[in-house]
Structure 1
Amino acid sequence: LGAEDLFSLSPRPAHPEYGQQDELYVNKIIEQAVDTYKLAMRDNTKVDQRLENLLNRIFNLNMESREYRQVVGLALDTRRLDQIERAVKASDDSTTLLSETVIKVLGSQLDRAFRSKVLDVLLRLFSELEEPDFVSMCQCLIKLEKPGDVADILNRLVKNQDGELLAYQISFDLYENATQQFIQQIEKALIPETEKTVTATSESATENATSTTETTTTTTAASSTSGTTSSATATTSSTTSAVTSKSADDSSSSTSGSSESAETVPSGTMSPEVRDKLRSILRGEETIKHHMQFLIKNNHTDMLILKNIKDSVRMACTHNGTVITNGLMHIGTTCDDFLRDNLEWISKATNWNKFNAVATLGLIHRGHEANAMKVLDPYLPKGEPDQFGYKEGGALYAYGLIHANHGSANVIEYLQKQLAGATTAAVRHGACLGLGVAALGTRNESVYSQLRETLYQDDAVVGEAAGTAMGLVMAASLDAAAFREMVQYISDTAHDKIQRGLRT
């Protein structure tokens, strides 16, 4: 450092007698200087100005040789945001360099505060480009937890006809990478306040109309059953057609109708059809539907393997393992033939094995949300459960598994009611687990509070499931208060099962 500019960063050519000694010396000095600088920047301590000057010379040397990727890598290690910006602006392909930097930042082990600063800089640089990489920008915004900005990007894209497909692709990526809470906030941001009021009013009117129709139907049912049935069928068919083939209806409408529709949706705004499509993708409806269809069409499980395992089973634990194996082999395929063909064998399951046997239906029918209640109807709680409630508890867990990471408000409300009204430990255990997987990553305070109250009852069986579910609901939230509550209760409780659930 004392040599300052006299220290050459470029080693002299190899000497015929001494070889590469000069190169080894220079590289070692540079390595030591960079490590010292990195440590000082990480600990936020004062840096020797001479060391700062040496690092600046290293950056300048790489910039002169156009090694921009190396500059970015060194800048991330040394926490030099100015050098990242400098390299990106100097590059001939700024978009590619920015996208590569985003991937590098998201895959690195940078601390949260510095990573947020880097992502903020990258977002600003993206916005200055003529053609920003919106996919990479949204990846940054997910980590920065800025759903409003993501919604702005989606709005910007769909206002341009050429950007509509990209908006759909980003929505698919968001469902795969973002939490349920993040996606719900994007959905809210996509709906203007005026439209929310109109939507609420129209929904209320629809409910009133529905109730009126039901009353009229009830009154006239005795005299005109067949007429009512045909009318209901026609109404259902027309409603389904209107929802599933809107584009076909639009193309068959008259010219005057088309012009009226064009006047209804001002230019530069998102049409209701596009918004509904975006929300459908964001909610995962499209992904889940196509994923399930793929698994059904490509189900090549070897049933002979299961048969051989079943025939060799002689103990309760291996019986339980076989049932779980079937669930894992057929996850998402909706193929429950093994269970149907071996009802007598399945009926041998008792206690928690019975719980697991019913719960595997949730694995098999994962994503089959439309028929979830129909599939599980024979097992779900109805009035008074049996003495122990293993079957009902397993059904509630299965219901949550079917809606895993995709629990709607109705699903969560149903599971909350079942948890509140349950009287047996097994049913409450299943309701807790179902709530946890259905509300995964939602940070739903209502669900978390109910699970916490269940945990504080200090029941070992129920508390284990409640502790696990609390972690699932608050997953990826970095909620310090929730973390402290869970850690404190690990110390307070004497039940190993509850401790295990909270640690999980």
Structure 2
Amino acid sequence: MVRPHSSAAGVLALLSEPEPVLKEHALKSLNTIVPQFWAEISEQIELIESLYESEELSDEARSSAALLASKVYYYLGEYDEALSFALSAGSAFEAEGRIPGAEEYVETVISKAIDRYVEARSKEEVGGEKIDSKLQGIIEGLLHRCISEGEYRQAIGIALESRRLDIVSDIYKKTRDVSLLSYAMDAVLDTGFSLSYRNEVLKFLLPLFPLPSRKDKSPHVHSLTRLLVSLGSPELTVPYLKSFVPNEKLLAYQLAFDLVEGGAQDFLESIRTELPEGDATTKEIYDQIREILAGQESVKLYLEFLKSNNKTDMLILKHTKDSLEGRSSIYHNALTLQNAFMHAGTTSDSFLRENLEWLALASNWAKFSATAGLGVIHKGHFVEGMNILGPYLPQQGVESGIPGAIYSEGGALYALGLINAGCGSGRQVEGYLRETLKAAQSEVVQHGAALGLGVAGMGGKNAEAYEDLKSTLFNDSAVSGEAAGYAMGLIMLGTGSGECADEMLTYARETQHEKIIRGLAIGIAFLYYARQEQADSVAESLLDEKDPLLRYGGVYTLALAYAGTSNNDAIRKLLHVAVSDTSDDVRRAAVTALAFLLFKNPSQVPRIVQLLSESYNPHVRCGATLALGIACAGTGLQDAIDILEPMTKDSVDFVRQGAYIALGLILVEQSEASSPTIASIRTTYNKVIGNKHEDPMARFGAVIGQGLIDAGGRNVTISLQSRAGTRNMSAIVGMVLFCQFWYWYPLAHCASLAFEPTGIIGLDAKLRAPKFEFISNAKPSLFAYPQPTQPPKKETVTKVATAVLSTTAKAKAREKRKAAAEGEAMDTDEKEKKDGDVEMKSDEAGADKHGDVSPLTGSMSGLPESPNSPEPNTQKLPNFSRVTPAQMAYVTFPPDSRYQPVRAVSTLPPRKGHATASSIANMEKFAGGGGVLILTDLRPEQEPEYIEFTTVHVTPQTEASEDPDRWRHIALDENAPEADPPEPFEYPFDSDT
């Protein structure tokens, strides 16, 4: 019997034969058996190379020798050598791609070829160095083969990798498929391309996109929005907006609203400034665009949406309040945050009004946080913000000096920033906060003013505000300095300013206050938001620091710089830190930071953090919970839930805390029909909160999770990207600050910056909201609001006979005889209960065993009116209705509807058929879209019927006021509809003196 390797040895022997024919036969034979006998063949690699160089052999035989050498080097792990010989093999290597079983070898070599080609292209652009013609040929052949076979996306991917933008242009000219341009844009934005090359590609793609039109509902408006926001260039955006004026003004309005979703303050303000004044025909249109770009119009609409659709379940809050001890600072903070999250943006402070006694229990920083919660509840309520906070703000910019009052004053300043989050630049609120910061003497008031200034002026790049914060920092107060560090980074968000980074890092190394170092470390991270490779040197420097607080900042610098890119190098560095750093805090942060890199690919996160969630280190496990929660927020991803549910039983309290919070983030706006685990999670929250023997940290996490799962009156989702698919700067920053609740509870309020209202808000050409209906192609129960918690049922008395002691019976017999003797019959009250019976409680008769009755419709929510009637497959919804992200792909406007949107409702193609629970669960990604939709009126001759708003709003014209005390006496627009203001009342904070 011949051993298997003997055949390989025999063929190898033929390579030394003098006859060329035998050598050619041996080379061809060896090429077919390399995967099995590469180890034996590798012993003759020098001979094979010499045959490739031999002039005695034919070109075909020499190509076979080169291919054989390439394969051997591939199996030896020498990929550069494998590529070099593959290039020399020429057509023999190209033919190898069609042989079954050789795919992995070919793909690896091609990948190396692309890498070398990219490197060679860079050298050619810089120094004029010519590219190897063989390398050029293999790339050209690969591209043409993909195009000829209709594999356009693969060809675009290779073209982007090899920096051949001409190929992208050629493919589009051939196909005229705009979706391919969107694919190219997504590919360069969501992967690890350098910032400079990314911008080069985006600028190349912009003119290729055809001008949108209203007729086709412009599905690529989302892509254009993402492209323009990603570039952040007013010079490119303004001409694009101008191209719509005056003929396509509705599309100009739509683009302006979409830009506001993801654009930074300075970017939007620059567009407003550079827009022309216009002539008699266009002036009104440009003024309207400027008003939209100010951001206040969007906030006003979402404020009205959240206020009118508020479905907050007050019984949940009541249960939490009754279960927790109000005098405990951690529990008071927990309920404060829960109430703020559940009422975020709704302007409803009814819970606070009804629980003044509980509110009065707040002291010191709990009072600060409770007042700051008003900013979350009234977020976006620009007009009434100062009036609501008036009783707590420092009067005339000077704190009262009353003991305990400084905490409510500081909290009110922070709340003012939250109300104006991301919209403070260009508004007098920023000036007010700056003046208050400079005048304040108390570090508590300075802390609140600094945080408020940072959040309100986020991304505004106001140099004067930065200098004011720097002066506060140099006072070297731990409390105010920490807030100043955060705020300096927020003001200069994404500038990548080396000067600012040097100043902040130098001071962080000099100060002895851990709070200040931590604030500056995160502040530096904010400077490098979205700067990608420009942040590498700073991140490396911070990660090499001896101080773990600065390494902590290095982790977030890396995460923010590459946010949403899924950059492999950044992920690799974070994973290395997560398993090797000597500080638990840094390791926890490194795992959490993975979420900011991967939030655009949430399905990958459970696989990546699975092992980390089982780490022996509880801090690493805790980081894994937050990584899952933040990256998978709002998706209801079952893979993430399957990891988190066992972690709610972890032996360490703060790991359980993280798991409860993460589940709240993931399950926000999920229904029981689409996510069957949500009912058990809600039950778990109630049990943990009501269990007085549970650890306080775990109960805190359950309270926060319960608040997040029902955030914004059950009308918001939590997402780190905008509806168009761009990075949501405000949300990313908000979640980074939220993660710092580990050290400072008031920062948890910043989670509200990631709350995204989910609804369809239709506006006509006058930017007013007409009444109309659209269709959701799904069963109502699939995306229904959760059923409200039922109050305790009425109780009836059931009579149960109990054992009676003999002494008791004798005593009663004596009483009866005595009563009879006196002529008085003993009334035993037989109609109500017998002597000795004990009251037992039972549910009220007639209680529904199958569901809760809706107080609005009189029928059970999500269920048919009659048990025998099937639930409908579609549902009509009016304007300003909640539409969850998963539901968006199933929304259609009837063809005969008077109003039609000027762009596609969703970023995904409309789903065919009706939505089912399984179709939602199997969606690879959730559809963005919705939000503010500009509508075309197909029947303008008919008088429209409008929705009446209840929230007074301010316009840019009202904004221009010379009253120095304007913020205390806001002059409302005379044309704005007025609503009855809420009755004033003061929270009982003065009791803490």
- TM-score, normalised to structure 1, is 0.77
- Offset at residue 156 of structure 1 (A): 1.9
Structure 1 pair 58–286 and aligned structure 2 pair: CA distance change class (3 A) = same
- CA–CA distance in structure 1, aligned partners of residues 98 and 135 of structure 2: 25
How do 1:317-328 residues align onto structure 2 when only pairs under 5 Å count?
A: 317-328=330-341
Aligned amino acid, residue 249 of structure 2:
E
Q: For 2:149, which of 59, 62, 65 is the aligned residue? A: 65
- CA–CA distance in structure 2, aligned partners of residues 138 and 394 of structure 1: 36
Aligned amino acid, residue 306 of structure 2:
L
- CA–CA distance in structure 2, aligned partners of residues 12 and 477 of structure 1: 47
Q: For 2:265, which of 173, 180, 183 is the aligned residue? A: 180
Residue 34, structure 1, aligned to residue 125, structure 2: no
- CA–CA distance in structure 1, aligned partners of residues 269 and 115 of structure 2: 44
- CA–CA distance in structure 1, aligned partners of residues 497 and 102 of structure 2: 53
- Offset at residue 105 of structure 1 (A): 2.1
Asked if 2 retains the 8 angstrom alpha-carbon contact of 1:138 and 1:150, the reply is: no
Asked if 2 retains the 8 angstrom alpha-carbon contact of 1:332 and 1:367, the reply is: yes
- Equivalent in the alignment of 1:283: 294
- Offset at residue 392 of structure 1 (A): 0.6
Asked if 2 retains the 8 angstrom alpha-carbon contact of 1:433 and 1:468, the reply is: yes
- Equivalent in the alignment of 2:380: 367
- Equivalent in the alignment of 1:226: none
How do 1:187-206 residues align onto structure 2 when only pairs under 5 Å count?
A: 187-192=272-277
SS in 2 for 1:115: helix
SS in 1 for 2:414: helix
- Equivalent in the alignment of 1:151: 238
- Offset at residue 409 of structure 1 (A): 2.6
- Equivalent in the alignment of 1:379: 392
- CA–CA distance in structure 2, aligned partners of residues 128 and 304 of structure 1: 52
Q: For 1:470, which of 471, 488, 501 is the aligned residue? A: 488
Deviations 1:447-498 (A, max 9, x none): 1111112112211100000011111111222222222222222212111001
Asked if 2 retains the 8 angstrom alpha-carbon contact of 1:102 and 1:140, the reply is: yes
Structure 1, 33-42 or 276-285: larger mean CA deviation = 33-42
Q: Name the structure with the higher strand share.
A: 2
- CA–CA distance in structure 2, aligned partners of residues 155 and 13 of structure 1: 51
Structure 1 pair 376–29 and aligned structure 2 pair: CA distance change class (3 A) = closer
Structure 1 pair 60–317 and aligned structure 2 pair: CA distance change class (3 A) = same
Asked if 2 retains the 8 angstrom alpha-carbon contact of 1:359 and 1:397, the reply is: yes
Structure 1 pair 127–312 and aligned structure 2 pair: CA distance change class (3 A) = closer
Structure 1 pair 442–11 and aligned structure 2 pair: CA distance change class (3 A) = same
Asked if 2 retains the 8 angstrom alpha-carbon contact of 1:134 and 1:153, the reply is: no
Aligned amino acid, residue 158 of structure 1:
V
- CA–CA distance in structure 2, aligned partners of residues 442 and 323 of structure 1: 29
Asked if 2 retains the 8 angstrom alpha-carbon contact of 1:148 and 1:185, the reply is: no
Residue 74, structure 1, aligned to residue 85, structure 2: no
- Equivalent in the alignment of 1:489: 507
- CA–CA distance in structure 1, aligned partners of residues 165 and 451 of structure 2: 44
SS in 2 for 1:397: helix
Residue 116, structure 1, aligned to residue 174, structure 2: no
Asked if 1 retains the 8 angstrom alpha-carbon contact of 2:422 and 2:456, the reply is: yes
Aligned amino acid, residue 148 of structure 2:
E
- Offset at residue 287 of structure 1 (A): 1.4
Q: Which structure 1 residue ranges, 5 or more long, are not aligned?
A: 15-19, 196-264
- CA–CA distance in structure 2, aligned partners of residues 334 and 129 of structure 1: 37
- Equivalent in the alignment of 2:32: none
- Offset at residue 116 of structure 1 (A): 1.3
Aligned amino acid, residue 53 of structure 1:
G
- Equivalent in the alignment of 2:661: none
Give the number of the structure whose alpha-carbon radius of gyration is greater.
Answer: 2
Asked if 1 retains the 8 angstrom alpha-carbon contact of 2:87 and 2:138, the reply is: no
- CA–CA distance in structure 1, aligned partners of residues 193 and 102 of structure 2: 34
Structure 1 pair 433–43 and aligned structure 2 pair: CA distance change class (3 A) = farther
- Equivalent in the alignment of 2:137: 53
Q: For 1:498, which of 499, 516, 520 is the aligned residue? A: 516
- Offset at residue 394 of structure 1 (A): 0.5
Asked if 2 retains the 8 angstrom alpha-carbon contact of 1:432 and 1:451, the reply is: yes
Asked if 1 retains the 8 angstrom alpha-carbon contact of 2:454 and 2:486, the reply is: yes
Deviations 1:88-144 (A, max 9, x none): 233x22433222222222222211111111112112433799999665445333333
Asked if 1 retains the 8 angstrom alpha-carbon contact of 2:295 and 2:423, the reply is: yes
Structure 1 pair 25–303 and aligned structure 2 pair: CA distance change class (3 A) = closer
How do 1:233-382 residues align onto structure 2 when only pairs under 5 Å count?
A: 265-266=279-280, 270-272=282-284, 274-314=285-325, 315-382=328-395
Deviations 1:45-96 (A, max 9, x none): 9754322221111112122223222111111222222322232233x22433
- CA–CA distance in structure 1, aligned partners of residues 496 and 97 of structure 2: 52
- CA–CA distance in structure 1, aligned partners of residues 132 and 161 of structure 2: 18
- What number of residue pairs does the alignment pair up? 422
Q: For 1:396, which of 413, 417, 422 is the aligned residue? A: 413
Aligned amino acid, residue 166 of structure 1:
L
Residue 171, structure 1, aligned to residue 183, structure 2: no
Structure 1 pair 322–135 and aligned structure 2 pair: CA distance change class (3 A) = closer
Asked if 2 retains the 8 angstrom alpha-carbon contact of 1:10 and 1:26, the reply is: no
- CA–CA distance in structure 2, aligned partners of residues 64 and 101 of structure 1: 19
- CA–CA distance in structure 2, aligned partners of residues 129 and 311 of structure 1: 56
- CA–CA distance in structure 1, aligned partners of residues 408 and 102 of structure 2: 76
Structure 1 pair 27–309 and aligned structure 2 pair: CA distance change class (3 A) = closer
Q: Name the structure with the higher helix share.
A: 1
Asked if 2 retains the 8 angstrom alpha-carbon contact of 1:68 and 1:88, the reply is: no
Residue 102, structure 1, aligned to residue 102, structure 2: no
SS in 2 for 1:441: coil
Residue 142, structure 1, aligned to residue 229, structure 2: yes
Q: Which structure 2 residue ranges, 5 or more long, are not aligned?
A: 1-85, 523-993
Structure 1 pair 479–13 and aligned structure 2 pair: CA distance change class (3 A) = closer
Structure 1 pair 375–52 and aligned structure 2 pair: CA distance change class (3 A) = same
Aligned amino acid, residue 140 of structure 1:
L
Structure 1 pair 41–350 and aligned structure 2 pair: CA distance change class (3 A) = farther
- CA–CA distance in structure 1, aligned partners of residues 303 and 212 of structure 2: 39
Deviations 1:382-421 (A, max 9, x none): 1442245111111111111111111143110111111111
Structure 1 pair 455–49 and aligned structure 2 pair: CA distance change class (3 A) = farther
Aligned amino acid, residue 113 of structure 1:
S
Aligned amino acid, residue 386 of structure 2:
M
- Equivalent in the alignment of 1:241: none
- CA–CA distance in structure 1, aligned partners of residues 97 and 508 of structure 2: 63
SS in 2 for 1:443: coil
- CA–CA distance in structure 1, aligned partners of residues 399 and 153 of structure 2: 66
Asked if 1 retains the 8 angstrom alpha-carbon contact of 2:447 and 2:484, the reply is: yes
Structure 1 pair 303–22 and aligned structure 2 pair: CA distance change class (3 A) = closer
Aligned amino acid, residue 338 of structure 1:
F
Residue 443, structure 1, aligned to residue 461, structure 2: yes
SS in 2 for 1:423: coil
Asked if 1 retains the 8 angstrom alpha-carbon contact of 2:97 and 2:106, the reply is: no
